[in-house]
Structure 1
Amino acid sequence: MSPLLKIRAERDQMSAIERRIADFLLDNAHLLRDYSSQQLANALGISQSSVVKFSQKLGFKGYPDLKYSIGEAVARGGNNDDGETVAASHDNPHTVLAENLWHLKAQAEAETRLINPPEAIDAIAAAITQAGKVFIIGLGEDGIPARAFATRLSMLGILTVHYVDAILMQAGVSAAAPGDVLLVFSEHGRQAALCQISRLFRERVGKVISVTRHTPNPLRAHADASLLVSAHDERRYIEPLLYQSALQHLLDLIFVLSCEASESRRSQLDVNFERMRDLLDT
């Protein structure tokens, strides 16, 4: 696993000093061979021990091992682990833009996959497929993937209760029972109303699954399990695209696992597809 990919994935969980080190390494990976741990510490105005501890926290014996691993990742180049955009050989500017965007989306998906362990994904997929009812809510732009995922679960024959209004969801929670699941979509996880709904749902012995960025946030604190998304770019018009792409891939994985876990679910999906086709053809 590329150390730079690991740094990006874990950056949001780091302390302020660790983030300064991480950002320096990501921005200057190709120059790192010229820096000793003391020179790096001096450049950032921190102690040398902070650099050593940072390296060890990532799983390396010390800074020299981390520097060597990053140097190897940069030398490979073809994997684009250094975060630089793809240097497309095509003359068409649209092709260059499209390939660079595709690379950024692939990088966000890889980071997102890294921070969601397979056992956690399996547990969430199992909770959804075994639930009596699955409640789903997302406000604003978060409502778009929430609605699409609710539709897919319904096609599998899973009883889904989807709301786009926090007040209505609070009323709907009164129908929750033990074994039910609540999926809460919130990119930044800060809406007080969603935190309150999650707390009420847990009081009814339901399981709350938050879907947020890979950052500490109040909503995650109210959840039993979390689906996490890592997507970063300095350009404000690009970062939301990376988030949506990585989130969609994560939800697609949950959906596929739900399909493959049950032949009856797949059969129900086929039946519903046929019914929809018949309605469209009439």
Structure 2
Amino acid sequence: MPPLVKIRSERDHMSAIERRIADFILDNAHLLRDYSSQQLASALGISQSSVVKFSQKLGFKGYPDLKYSIGEAVARAGNEGGSSPPTAGPANDYDQLAERLRLSRTAADEETRLANPQADVEAIVRLIDDAPKLFVYGLGDDGLYAREFAMRLSLLGMLTVHHADPILMMANLSAARPGDVLLVFSEFGKLPQLFQLSRQFQDMGGKVVSITRHSANPLRAHADGALVVCAHDPAPHVAQLLYRSALQSLLDFVFVLLCHANPDRHRQLGVNLERIEHLIDT
């Protein structure tokens, strides 16, 4: 696993001092080659031994080994993003932007795949497949992906309840029973109403699966299962595009796993798609 992905994936389980080191490295990976362990410790106001222990906890021999590995990863990313020699002209800018976006999407998809261990994803697929009812919820942009995924689940023959209105979804909680699953889409996982909705659903015996960024957030911390999305870029508008792209790829994979996990679901999908096609043609 690439070192920066490994740091992001383990950040939530780190101590306060380790999180400070992790955040500094993630924010300044391209500058890390200029920092010795003592300089890094001084910049963060911690002991040098904390930096060394942090490196060893991640599986490296020491800080120099960690720094070298991160330096290689940063250099590799830079070469991939700028392998073509620059030439003047609008056409070249057009091609370079297209290639950089493609490479960034590929990297976000790969990081997202690595951040979601197979065992965790398969456990979530089993939860969804075994659920008597599925409740799907998201607000704003998250609501668009929640609605589309709810439709896919319905095509598999699953009883799915979807709402983009928190009041309507709260009212529907009265129909929740033990074993039901609530899928909550929230990029940052910090909206109080989503956390309240999730806790009430759990109090009724249901299981909550969060779909958020790969960051520490209350929704993810208290969910029974979590799908996480990695999407990082210095430009905010690109980071948002990467999040949407990686999220869609992750949901597509979960859908494919559901089809393979239950042949009856797969057959029902074929029946429903045929019915839809017949409806459109008539």
Q: Which residue of 1 aligns with 2:133?
A: 133
Shift of 1:64: 2.6
Cα distance in 2 for partners of 1:221, 1:73 equals 29
Question: Superposed, which structure 2 residues align to 1:162-241 within 5 Å?
Answer: 162-241=162-241
Shift of 1:11: 5.5
Q: Which amino acid aligns with 2:19?
A: S
Question: Which residue, out of 4, 14, 17, partners 2:21?
Answer: 17
Shift of 1:59: 1.2
1:250 match: secondary structure: helix
Does the 8 Å contact 2:7/2:22 carry over to 1?
no
Q: Percent of aligned positions with the same letter in both sequences? A: 58
Does the 8 Å contact 2:155/2:269 carry over to 1?
yes
Q: Which residue of 1 aligns with 2:30?
A: 27
Partner deviation per Cα, 1:134-179 (whole Å, 9 max, x = no partner): 0000011110110010011111111110011000011101001111
Moved more, 159-168 or 103-112: 103-112
Does the 8 Å contact 1:134/1:160 carry over to 2?
yes
Q: Give the structure with the larger helix fraction.
A: 2
Shift of 1:73: 4.2
Does the 8 Å contact 1:87/1:96 carry over to 2?
no
Q: Which residue of 2 aligns with 1:263?
A: 263
Partner deviation per Cα, 1:45-74 (whole Å, 9 max, x = no partner): 653223212211221121132234345546
Q: Normalising by the residue count of structure 1, what TM-score does the alignment of the two structures yield?
A: 0.88
Does the 8 Å contact 1:136/1:183 carry over to 2?
yes
Moved more, 104-113 or 152-161: 104-113
Question: Superposed, which structure 2 residues align to 1:241-260 within 5 Å?
Answer: 241-260=241-260
Structure 2: state its 5+ residue gaps: none
Q: Which amino acid aligns with 1:155?
A: L
Moved more, 5-14 or 92-101: 5-14
Cα distance in 2 for partners of 1:216, 1:96 equals 34
Q: Which residue of 1 aligns with 2:145?
A: 145
Does the 8 Å contact 2:136/2:162 carry over to 1?
yes
Cα distance in 2 for partners of 1:71, 1:192 equals 39
Check if 1:121 corresponds to 2:124: no
Q: After TM superposition, which residue ranges in structure 1, 4 or more long, deviate above 6 angstroms?
A: none
Query: What RMSD over aligned residues (CA atoms) do the two structures have, in Å?
Result: 2.3
Partner deviation per Cα, 1:234-267 (whole Å, 9 max, x = no partner): 2121111111111111111110100001111111
Check if 1:87 corresponds to 2:90: no
Q: Which amino acid aligns with 2:277?
A: R
Q: CA 1:71/1:222 → structure 2, altered by over 3 Å: closer, same or farther?
A: closer
Equivalent residue pairs, number: 274
Does the 8 Å contact 1:9/1:112 carry over to 2?
no
1:162 match: secondary structure: strand
Q: Which amino acid aligns with 1:136?
A: V
